[in-house]
Structure 1
């Protein structure tokens, strides 16, 4: 096996070639294309990876840790020892409900007792007085103290410094509790909420055998250690144990981050596509302009082997220079962008890794091997007589081998970067659609452009004639313009879809309070209070706790795996309800909405099942479900499957049964509503009227979600700038690739007395027409791809993007027309004799 390695003398000659080419301007566009490819790939990859770590770090505050283990019992010491062995930080919590007394006035509260170290991630926000400014602290209260929510102080009419009792323990209420990072974790995340030290729990003597209590252990550490511990622990978990990550605890945040991650991956892939297309175009032009160099070397006795080694050395030097400078620029790009984001998020800047820079260097290497090397390899076969034959340049165009090598190289890059066959296949299919399908109608459209007569003094007639004369070249050029515009439109469309979805997910009047445990006789009181206060509220829904025990007379546990059983939520009681009408944010996917008093033809009541639960438990229309509610079993036949939007902060239920099936069973009610900040104190009045009701305040969760979405949105804007740079580069490279042939024609026209205005007008007209047609075709292709991405990749509602229909033709006309004008200036500013000598 022969290895092509240039000798030192050959490297010196290659370096001399590089310097000459750089001074003549032939190498600059290729170098800039490769440099942009390396800088964008390494910079954007590192930026997205580190930004994801920062957002994940902020999102982990929803758990106050990287992972949280919840259990109704104290877990084995071996589990905690294994976490220690892996170097994980730990903290422990115990959650329970108890009566709190202040001046002999009782109030049912939700207690969280936290050990030292809590929270592992995030901070607790507190106030010194009831209405003073809140501020963050790194831990919870010390032993002997307790922090309580504002509404507890309002209901009991006490202030910080008061002595309160929980069981037998006397504690001093020192701070007003505003929020904790894990406010949403677990069933007991209800109010009024108090936070105390773990060491004070024993002194309360309220925890006895049979108490309803939840223990929690928090873990934080390196991602690899967390994953290793998770793999070790999960097989040992009991049905009652819950191992929580962000997706389990805050699905709305997890979904937003997952979609943003998909967007970043898609954007980075599009940048790679655009960068390598620019490299391909400039590589072909560079090689075409080296025909004379090879011919001169052949006349001086250079062998094909020498030429091969010479250009191998040239590529090696080019690769080293581009890689070093590109990685330096990428590092500066990462640091500059991430420092600002880290400051806004108030999180630590993640360390730099070598993976993005390696990927950038690999991008440069594959680009050179796939796009530049095939054309250079053909140069060694150029005969010496080529110095007299201008047509030899045309023979080095995009041949079959070059096209195959290019597509293989691009596919390899996408697979290497995305690690996703589906995304790589979608992008490659898009390219093929443009080049194979769109290029054909493009050629047909160019061929059938209207004729205005062959007037030599008409720039419009000359532009149309030029377009028709070079149909194949113009169709290819038009297709490449359409690719860059289409990819830009795809990214704009996906971004707009994400923005619209996020904005609709959490509008300004999103419910920020849940009111649960409303007794049947208190429903009228709650409805009257909501009406008097004048707040926007959802319906008041009945709520019955029940467990799904059988499907078609087969125990649920036997239908699915142990992991699937826990993931579905069927291992615990579900919230059951009924509704006269289909609730908002619910959509019937199969069957008919008949969850009222209707019954099936089999004589059984019907039930409407949430679609994800139905999929996890393999439930279909007509299946018979058996529920155990207290000591009563209720049977129902599946009459419909519903899709539920869980991200809207509204009451939703997995199962909706007929009212007749549940109305005689023990039940409470719940609702949600939006209450402005100035009306928050009125919650205390409501709770005095119905003291057994429990208020869940989700303001903090909503603010955290909005904060994450805001910073993700800013990042999307920055990513879009990179894609626009790549699109412009492709257009410039494509225009430059076609300038040589146009220069020759315009040189002859100048020599024959053609005016500058005629030449400038014809070039601008030609590029404007190409840009407009490319924009129209790009719009059609982008809409088709967007529909596919929305359906199968981003999991977003299908919608068209009419705002893009005029954007692409305008962008194509403006950018390509401007590039044509810049090209025309070169022809008109140089004397005809000089241009003839250059050609």
Structure 2
């Protein structure tokens, strides 16, 4: 064993100096680094983005309830190691020098917020900054519009109920403001301990409680499963998806992209290792023959090369894992600094995957070939060409695909997805390689005239149809995967950017009385700001569908998730609102705005219609105070809720609601320098409520920005994997061309002719691979748009040039490097080697 180990180490040093080991070493090293680095980066980045997104709840989960919950629930959470905080939300009158104002109060316990920070100011218009908690007992933080309306200054005493509190800071935002930012009156944040002194909470008071929970994901899930069956109808367990569905959807799609991209990197890395491993074995055929002639047994050769591969594997694994760790830390440090969140701890699984990727490739594509060679007599090896002696056997291919499937299964933890990726790989290779062979076969049949670079290149392409078709197929797959990911990324970018474009409304104005609508419209016109329509709003409850009570029509869970278990905001509109699309039926005509036999028309939002099984022509009954309003479903429309504009589940005929008590609401965009003007409007219409949502918009844009940045970083890994496969494939085909070009040089062919023909050959292959990759990528993108991303079908002409250009550039450059290596050695030396 000692002698074999020394010999194996000597072989490694000789192979490294001769250059035979370097490409395999680099392929293995890059594979381990990319797989371990990318999968670890993606996994930890998801945790960081989830942490930033959880700021919308100020926790990982929120439990909302109209009353106190059982202490057993909180004890269970404590037993699982979850952090906790408590909130009480209520409306109350705030008095300053006997001048009252209705405010929305949030009373927070000491640990609030569990995730995120509270933004405050030291003056009305001073710079805002973030703090880790709320006000201490005896103090309150208030929105600046309260100070403006009551002409108060910081340090002023105010009363909430019987408690005297001091205004110490200007409240800008809380991390969970997006959980319900439309509230009656300015926001006030106080300490939980001061609630008892106010004496405003009594039996029958309209208050809501919220318990915040944060901690390990497994503990959160365990508590969620335990708590779910015990929740009452009026209690809500909120996750990010419930609170901010647009952000949850963006993160879900980004995770799908990460999973798809990193799976593709694994596939590309394994292909590159397979190609370089096979080439390494081919170049060791002669070494094995020499060892056999010197008396080495098959067992000794097997032991020698097993140790050689073991040393290579250990070296690459250690170095690759170190590089992967450095890569993860370097990238995540930048992201953590921007997100202001801690870097999650290192996980072992990504490094295991990187090591397993190298191990599977070596075991699948190197050992089987070497095992075949060590059983062949030395004379047979010398008499036969190395090219015919070695290749990818059926057994090695089967082992390789089985190993790749296992690797994908370990990474994705989804058998179906792993199997689909493997089948898609085989199908794409078949779909691309067959047309590639036909195209190559249809090339002009010309002789290899000595003075014609292109004729020589075409002749070489036709002569090796199968090998070139396989090579072209691998190039095309690499380029196609890259183009698909670019297209998916661009689709996601366009979708996210369209959610919150420039001048997205950052103020909501609600509780506008009918006599104040003209004043609001005049003020908005004077300010010259971008505004939405002013919508009337009536509160009502859906009670019947086709004379059947809603509670009996659907399950209890569907009824609760639909939101129909509480009062809805009802409105009417002459024109279809922006960001609304009619999916079924037609928008209201002028006649539809009137009543027919006391029955009007109604437009229903599509998701609510699906949850309650509402169809066109159904008759709905609403109870508004003591009045029943009936309406027939005229159309079903899709609403984009994440555009920060007023939207409604139900839009009824004008005649159905205009005689009922109502208020109005609108939204508008106001630049920073005009924010002070809002105080003028509030003094003119003091009963109206202005809600500033700049902070919510900033949070959403921050998450989208960082997700987009992460997608581009992941894409860089895919580019590296694609380049690695193409270089490995070119190198794998180099030996087969060396002998032919040696003969050509011996017969008087110039270096320029050989280099030119090889470059032309690879440029043609790269161009064809790019064209086939573009066609395949466009078909895949159309399928993803239709069935996965649910987007309108659009072509991507901006990407059509990219794959041919990359194919010509990368493959042509690799061909040039290969040609220089072929022509650098004297013909006599090459003939002796052959």
Tell me if TM exceeds 0.5. yes
The answer to whether the aligner puts 1:789 opposite 2:784 as a matched pair is: yes
CA distance, structure 1, for counterparts of residue 417 and residue 538 of structure 2: 44
Which 10-residue stretch deviates more, 265-274 or 290-299?
Answer: 290-299
User: 8 Å contact 2:598–2:630 — kept in the other structure?
Assistant: no
The answer to whether the aligner puts 1:642 opposite 2:637 as a matched pair is: yes
The answer to whether the aligner puts 1:820 opposite 2:815 as a matched pair is: yes
Q: CA deviation at 1:22?
A: 3.1
Match 2:832 to one of 815, 823, 837: 837
Which 10-residue stretch deviates more, 750-759 or 303-312?
Answer: 303-312
1:526-567 deviation per Cα after TM superposition (whole angstroms, max 9, x unaligned): 222111111111112222222233334443334444333322
The answer to whether the aligner puts 1:363 opposite 2:357 as a matched pair is: yes
1:125-177 deviation per Cα after TM superposition (whole angstroms, max 9, x unaligned): 11111122222222111122111111111111111111212222221111111
1:262 corresponding residue in structure 2: 256
Pairs within 5 Å for 1:704-723:
704-723=699-718
User: 8 Å contact 1:547–1:573 — kept in the other structure?
Assistant: yes
1:35 corresponding residue in structure 2: 29
Match 2:497 to one of 496, 503, 506: 503
Q: CA deviation at 1:829?
A: 1.9
1:3 corresponding residue in structure 2: none
2:665 corresponding residue in structure 1: 670
CA distance, structure 1, for counterparts of residue 783 and residue 353 of structure 2: 28
1:79-130 deviation per Cα after TM superposition (whole angstroms, max 9, x unaligned): 2222222222211111111222222222221111111111111111111111
Q: CA deviation at 1:302?
A: 4.8
Match 1:589 to one of 562, 569, 583: 583
* DSSP 3-state at the match of 1:214: strand
Q: CA deviation at 1:817?
A: 0.6
Q: CA deviation at 1:614?
A: 2.6
CA distance, structure 2, for counterparts of residue 85 and residue 178 of structure 1: 35
User: 8 Å contact 2:606–2:636 — kept in the other structure?
Assistant: yes
User: 8 Å contact 1:287–1:379 — kept in the other structure?
Assistant: no
The answer to whether the aligner puts 1:733 opposite 2:717 as a matched pair is: no
CA distance, structure 2, for counterparts of residue 112 and residue 438 of structure 1: 62
1:185 corresponding residue in structure 2: 179
CA distance, structure 1, for counterparts of residue 300 and residue 542 of structure 2: 78
Which 10-residue stretch deviates more, 397-406 or 779-788?
Answer: 397-406
Q: CA deviation at 1:400?
A: 3.5
CA distance, structure 2, for counterparts of residue 395 and residue 695 of structure 1: 80
The answer to whether the aligner puts 1:464 opposite 2:458 as a matched pair is: yes
The answer to whether the aligner puts 1:615 opposite 2:610 as a matched pair is: yes
User: 8 Å contact 1:463–1:763 — kept in the other structure?
Assistant: yes
* DSSP 3-state at the match of 2:668: strand
* DSSP 3-state at the match of 2:168: strand
CA distance, structure 1, for counterparts of residue 638 and residue 679 of structure 2: 36
Match 2:529 to one of 507, 514, 535: 535
2:408 corresponding residue in structure 1: 414
CA distance, structure 1, for counterparts of residue 342 and residue 179 of structure 2: 24
Structure 2: stretches of 5+ with no match in the other structure:
none
2:801 corresponding residue in structure 1: 806
The answer to whether the aligner puts 1:631 opposite 2:654 as a matched pair is: no
CA distance, structure 2, for counterparts of residue 191 and residue 368 of structure 1: 68
- When residues 620 and 380 of structure 1 are mapped into structure 2, their CA distance, relative to the original with a 3 A threshold, is farther
- When residues 264 and 190 of structure 1 are mapped into structure 2, their CA distance, relative to the original with a 3 A threshold, is farther
The answer to whether the aligner puts 1:654 opposite 2:656 as a matched pair is: no
User: 8 Å contact 2:102–2:184 — kept in the other structure?
Assistant: no
2:538 corresponding residue in structure 1: 544
Which 10-residue stretch deviates more, 96-105 or 446-455?
Answer: 446-455
2:760 corresponding residue in structure 1: 765
CA distance, structure 2, for counterparts of residue 429 and residue 573 of structure 1: 50
CA distance, structure 1, for counterparts of residue 305 and residue 386 of structure 2: 19
CA distance, structure 1, for counterparts of residue 665 and residue 502 of structure 2: 22
CA distance, structure 2, for counterparts of residue 418 and residue 705 of structure 1: 28
* DSSP 3-state at the match of 2:179: coil
* DSSP 3-state at the match of 2:155: coil
User: 8 Å contact 1:359–1:417 — kept in the other structure?
Assistant: yes
Structure 1: stretches of 5+ with no match in the other structure:
1-6
- When residues 593 and 308 of structure 1 are mapped into structure 2, their CA distance, relative to the original with a 3 A threshold, is farther
The answer to whether the aligner puts 1:755 opposite 2:747 as a matched pair is: no
- When residues 559 and 275 of structure 1 are mapped into structure 2, their CA distance, relative to the original with a 3 A threshold, is farther
Q: Let me know the Cα RMSD of the aligned residues.
A: 2.4
CA distance, structure 2, for counterparts of residue 469 and residue 294 of structure 1: 30
1:4 corresponding residue in structure 2: none
Q: CA deviation at 1:340?
A: 1.6
CA distance, structure 2, for counterparts of residue 10 and residue 565 of structure 1: 73
The answer to whether the aligner puts 1:91 opposite 2:88 as a matched pair is: no
User: 8 Å contact 1:291–1:382 — kept in the other structure?
Assistant: no
Pairs within 5 Å for 1:268-283:
268-283=262-277
TM-score (norm 2): 0.95
Q: CA deviation at 1:800?
A: 1.8
The answer to whether the aligner puts 1:165 opposite 2:159 as a matched pair is: yes
Q: CA deviation at 1:813?
A: 0.5
User: 8 Å contact 1:294–1:382 — kept in the other structure?
Assistant: no
- When residues 289 and 602 of structure 1 are mapped into structure 2, their CA distance, relative to the original with a 3 A threshold, is farther
The answer to whether the aligner puts 1:73 opposite 2:67 as a matched pair is: yes
Which 10-residue stretch deviates more, 467-476 or 291-300?
Answer: 291-300
- When residues 763 and 88 of structure 1 are mapped into structure 2, their CA distance, relative to the original with a 3 A threshold, is same
- When residues 562 and 9 of structure 1 are mapped into structure 2, their CA distance, relative to the original with a 3 A threshold, is farther
* DSSP 3-state at the match of 1:184: helix
Q: CA deviation at 1:352?
A: 0.8
User: 8 Å contact 1:623–1:638 — kept in the other structure?
Assistant: yes
Which 10-residue stretch deviates more, 526-535 or 589-598?
Answer: 589-598
CA distance, structure 2, for counterparts of residue 511 and residue 312 of structure 1: 67
User: 8 Å contact 1:38–1:360 — kept in the other structure?
Assistant: yes
CA distance, structure 1, for counterparts of residue 5 and residue 543 of structure 2: 77
Pairs within 5 Å for 1:63-462:
63-186=57-180, 189=183, 191-300=185-294, 302=296, 304-421=298-415, 423-425=417-419, 427-450=421-444, 454-462=448-456
* DSSP 3-state at the match of 1:593: coil
User: 8 Å contact 1:34–1:279 — kept in the other structure?
Assistant: yes
1:787-821 deviation per Cα after TM superposition (whole angstroms, max 9, x unaligned): 22233334444322111101111111011111111
CA distance, structure 2, for counterparts of residue 768 and residue 726 of structure 1: 20
Q: CA deviation at 1:781?
A: 0.8
Which 10-residue stretch deviates more, 376-385 or 278-287?
Answer: 376-385
- When residues 371 and 678 of structure 1 are mapped into structure 2, their CA distance, relative to the original with a 3 A threshold, is same
Q: CA deviation at 1:310?
A: 4.2
Q: CA deviation at 1:576?
A: 2.2
CA distance, structure 2, for counterparts of residue 9 and residue 619 of structure 1: 81
User: 8 Å contact 1:595–1:608 — kept in the other structure?
Assistant: no
1:690-723 deviation per Cα after TM superposition (whole angstroms, max 9, x unaligned): 2222112110011111111222222222212111
Q: CA deviation at 1:47?
A: 0.8
